[in-house]
Amino acid sequence: MNKIVGGLFLTLEGGDGVGKSTLQRSLNQRISEAGLEVIMCREPGGTILGEKLRDALLGSKKKEVDALAELLVFLAARTQLSTEIIKPALERGAVVICDRFADSSIAYQHYGRGIEKSIIEDLNTIATTGLMPDRTILLDLDPSVGAKRKGQAQDYMEQETIDFHNRVREGYMYLARESPGRWLIVDALQNEDVIFDLVWSDLAQRIKD
Ligand code: TYD
């Protein structure tokens, strides 16, 4: 099995229904073909505790959670995932592809809900002991298109107003433009093969070196 020293940590971000899981599956296939170990995970979730927290939070169609409590649940799931799965995998030299990570909390809980950004940044650092993705792919899509793709809302977050989802989208754009060295912005309206090719040409160098 090939290894990358220190591993490679990739995260996929964007609104609901932008195609993150499809992209994650195709990347998994192509990177595995390159002889590397690939770990796929998602947030919230990816561990026994994380999946229970996911159900506790998103199992409901009605919003019954306080905004700060919601943030802390995402962070608890993130702490467990980082220590139990992500860090050991990176130490083994694997590629970790995570569907959402710390940036989701900034996009949703700061830009969406209005919790102060510096509080979320500090809590993210504590939860992950400073672990940062090497590359983050932003799949950018008009939330009304994402909602149509997803069909009926599955959880209370998807039932938030279009204004909320537009703020999340703009928040992501702001984050991505602020740190172009880490983020790759992809127009998620494009065909999935085109999206894959764009992302693969961005990543191939890091995977083959
Ligand atoms: P999920 O079903 O995984 O949605 P998606 O397929 O769009 O990723 O549900 C995760 C939801 O939780 C999604 O609406 C985004 C939200 N979320 C936050 O608000 N903050 C966070 O820190 C994370 C990780 C997710």
pLDDT of residue 133: 98
Q: Which residue matches tokens 């107003």?
A: 161
Specify the residue with its C-alpha closest to ligand 1, atom 22: 105
Residues 6+ apart with CB under 8 A from 163: none
Contact call for residues 186 and 138 (beta carbons, < 8 A)? yes
C-alpha 12 – ligand 1 centre gap (Å): 11
This model's pTM is above 0.75: yes
C-alpha 149 – ligand 1 centre gap (Å): 16
Burial annotation 54-91 (CB, 10 A radius, 16+ → b, else e): beebbeeeeeebeeeebbbbbbebbbbbbebbbbebbe
Average pLDDT over residues 144-154: 88
Residues having CB within 6 Å of any atom of ligand 1: 16, 20, 42-44, 58, 74, 100, 104-105, 108-109, 157
Q: What percent of the chain has pLDDT over 70?
A: 100
Reported as a single tens digit per residue, the pLDDT across 6-57 is 999 999 999 999 999 999 999 999 999 999 999 999 999 999 999 999 999 9
C-alpha 48 – ligand 1 centre gap (Å): 17
Say if residue 188's pLDDT is above 70: yes
- Which class is domain 8-204? alpha beta
What are the sequence ranges of the domains in the chain?
8-204
> Which of ligand 1's atoms lies nearest the C-alpha of 157?
14
